[in-house]
Amino acid sequence: MGTHAQGNRARRRGRRRFVDYPRSGRGGIRRWLPSWRQLLGAAVLFTAVVAGLFVCVYVSVDIPDANASARREANVYYWSDGTQMVSTGEVNRQNVELDQIAPAAVHAVIAAENETFYRDSGVSPKGFVRAAVNMVRGRETQGGSTITQQYVKNTYLSQDQTVTRKVKEFVIALKLDRGTSKDEILKGYLNTSWFGRGAYGIEAAAHAYYGIPASRLDPSQGAFLAAMLKGAEQYDPAGGAANHRRARSRWAWILDRQVGVGLMTKKERAGYRTFPEPRSRSRSTSLGGQTGYLVDIASRYVKEHTGLTDEELARGGHEIHTTFDRHKVRRLERAVRRALDRDTDPKKRAADRYLQAGAASVRPSDGAIVALYGGPDATEHFTNNADTAGVPAGSAFKPFVLAAALQYGAPVHDEPLTEAAGYPARAPDLRPGRLADAHYAADGILRQDRGAPDPDRPTLGRALLFGGNATYVRLGKDVGRDKVRRTAVDAGMLRRSMGRLEPTFSIGTSTPSAIRMATAYATFASAGIRHDPYSVTKVVKDGEELPGLERPASRRALDGDVARQVTDALRAGGRGLGPGVAAGRTGDQDRLRSAWFAGYTEDLSTAVTLFRVRPEVPRLLPMSGVGGPTSRHGSALPPRIWKEYVRGAGR
C-alpha cells in the first residue's frame, strides 16, 4: 500500500505543470504565495503586453492635418424672427514668429507651464497616469500636461476629456517631438493658446490686455499673460475682486518660479513688485449700440444653462437663437434717447450729468425678454444697465406690499357708518377686493369703512399711486416684512437683491435689475403665474441642438384674484399712459437716488429706471434737479419713456 502511494506521488512530480500555481510541494499559506520567479514572470509578461499595445497604438495613430483641425468659426446670434443679429467670435489671432515675442514672456510661459520643455520628450508619463486616474474617478483631467501635449490638444484634437483623446494626445506629442523642433512647437503653442477676452495666441492677448504687440511685453506683463493660461475665466481681473486676487497671486508665483528655474535673477525679480494692471475689457465694434448688451445677456444665459465655458463659446460654430425682437429693441432705444435728448441738458445743468438709463421688456405669457436698453453704447459703456442690481426700486416696490397684504391677510377692521352720522347703515363688507379702499385711521388701525377717509390718511390704493410712504411702511409691518419679501421673490425678483427687513424695506430699499422688475410685474399681468426670464430659445452646434435650453417652467406665485386686484389698483394711476398699465415711482424728495416706472399691458411688462453715477465712483448720486424743475427730480422721465415705447411697441 505504501509503495503504491509513493509511486503515485512520484508520477505526479514527473508531470510538471506549465504554471506551478497553486504551488505543489507546499502546504498552508505558502501554497498560495507566488514565488519570486512567478512574480518576475508576471511583471515581464504585463510589461510586454503593455509595450505591445503601445506599439500598436503608436503605429496606428497619425498626426492629423493641423490647419484643418485648428480652424475656428464664428458664433451667429439671431433675432426672434430668425434674421441674423450679429456674427461674433471670429478668431482673434495673429500668428507671430518666436522672435517676435518678448523673451521674458516666453520664459514666463515655460516656467509656469513646463520648465523641462527643452529637455523632455514632449510628454509627461506621470501626468498621463494622473489624468487617467482622475477620469476613472470622474474628476477633471487638466494639469500635468507638457507644452507639447497642450499644443497637440489645441491644434490637432478636441477639448473632450476622454481616455481616447488623452491617449491620442500622448502619442501625437511623442511623434511631434521627434519630428519637430522645440522652437516650432513653442511657437505653435503660443499662437494657439486661449488667453481670454476673445484672444487666441499671445499677440492677440498682448493687444487685448495691454494694447501693445507681444514683442513689447515686459517681464511683469509676460508673467501676467502666462497666468491667463491657467484659465482666464478665473484670473482675468475684469471678472471681479476674486479674479484679481487669484491673478495677482499667480503672477507673483510665476515671477518667483522663473528665479527658481534659472530664467530670471533675483535682482531682476526685485524690480517687479507692482502688479501690471491690464486695461479695461474692450469690445468689438460689431457689438456697438444695444447689440453688445443683447449678446452679453444671451451668452451668459447660454453658459448658465448649457455648461459651456467662455473658451468653448469663443471657439465658435454656434447658432444662437434669441428672444429679442429687433423692432422693439430699436423702439425702446429710440424712446430712451428721445426722452433724454428732449428733457435733459448735461452741458447746461450739472444735475443732468452722469445720468444713466436702463430698461427691459418681458413677455408676460412666457417670460421671454423681448427688448432691453443697457446704455448708450456697449463698446463705450460696458455695464449693462438693464441687468444691473444696485438701484433702489423706491415706490415701484409698493405693489408687492399690497399683494402680500392681499395674499396673506392684514388686520382690517370694518366700520359701517350709521344713519346718525348722516349715512345709511350698511352691512360689513370685508371682501378682499375692498382692501385697497382701507385706510389707517387716527388710532393707527387699518379700517375699511363706507365714508371718505381723512384726506391726510389716504387709502391703500391712493397711497400706492400718489405718495403715502408712511401708509406702506405701516402696512408692511402689519403684514410682516418677511411675507412682503417672500411675495416679491415669488413674483420673480432675486432674493439677493432684497433689502434689509427694516421699516423702509416696504418703500423700496431693494435693488432689483430692470429685467427682474419687469419679470415680477409680469406676474401681475399673467394673473399670478410666474415665468422666469429667458433670452435664448436654442443653440445649434454642428447641426445638433444643445441640451439645457428648454423653456423655463411656470409656477403660481400669487392667487389670481390677488394679481387682478393689484392690477385694478394700479390701473387707476396709469390712465393716459396706455391700456392695462401699472406704475411705480420714487420716494422721498432730496434723498432720491433713482427714478423708476414699471408697468404692463396684456402683451408687455416693461421697467424703466434712471440713476446717476460717476464711472470712477460706484455710488449713486442725488437725482435732485434732474430734467429741470418740472421733472419732479427725474421721476417724470421714466413714465414718458414707457409711454412712447409701449404705444408703438405693438407695431
- Taking each continuous run of H as one helix and of E as one strand, the counts in the chain are 23, 15
The architecture CATH gives domain 326-391+513-651: 3-Layer(aba) Sandwich (3.40)
Residue type, 107: H
For 159-173, 491-505, 582-596, which range has the lowest pLDDT when averaged over its residues?
582-596
Confidence of residue 546 (pLDDT cuts 50, 70, 90): very high
Res 245 pLDDT > 70? yes
For 463-495, how does the pLDDT look when each residue is reduced to its tens digit (9 = 90+)? 888 778 899 999 999 999 999 999 999 999 999
Q: What percent of the chain clears pLDDT 70, i.e. is strictly above it?
A: 76
The ranges assigned to domains in the chain are 2-60, 94-270, 326-391+513-651, 394-510
Look at residue 445 in the predicted model and tell me its pLDDT.
82
Instruction: Cell numbers for 535, please give them.
Output: 433670452
The architecture CATH gives domain 94-270: Orthogonal Bundle (1.10)
351 φ, ψ (degrees, to nearest 5)? -65, -20
Pairing of strands 536-541, 595-600: unpaired
pTM of the model: 0.69
Look at residue 76 in the predicted model and tell me its pLDDT.
86
Contact 378, 287 (CB under 8 A): yes
For 558-602, how does the pLDDT look when each residue is reduced to its tens digit (9 = 90+)? 999 999 999 988 887 655 555 445 444 444 443 578 999 999 998
Res 506 pLDDT > 80? yes
For 114-147, how does the pLDDT look when each residue is reduced to its tens digit (9 = 90+)? 999 998 888 876 655 555 555 555 544 445 589 9
Res 260 pLDDT > 80? yes
Confidence of residue 417 (pLDDT cuts 50, 70, 90): very low
Three-class secondary structure of residue 598 per DSSP: strand
- DSSP per position, 21-64: -SPTT--GGGGGSPPHHHHHHHHHHHHHHHHHHHHHHHHH----
**Residue predicted with more confidence, 331 or 58:** 331
Q: Output DSSP code: residue 92.
A: B
Res 34 pLDDT > 80? no
Q: Which residues contact residue 333 at a Cβ distance below 8 angstroms, ignoring those fewer than 6 apart?
A: 289, 290, 373
Confidence of residue 435 (pLDDT cuts 50, 70, 90): confident
Res 431 pLDDT > 70? no
Res 429 pLDDT > 50? no
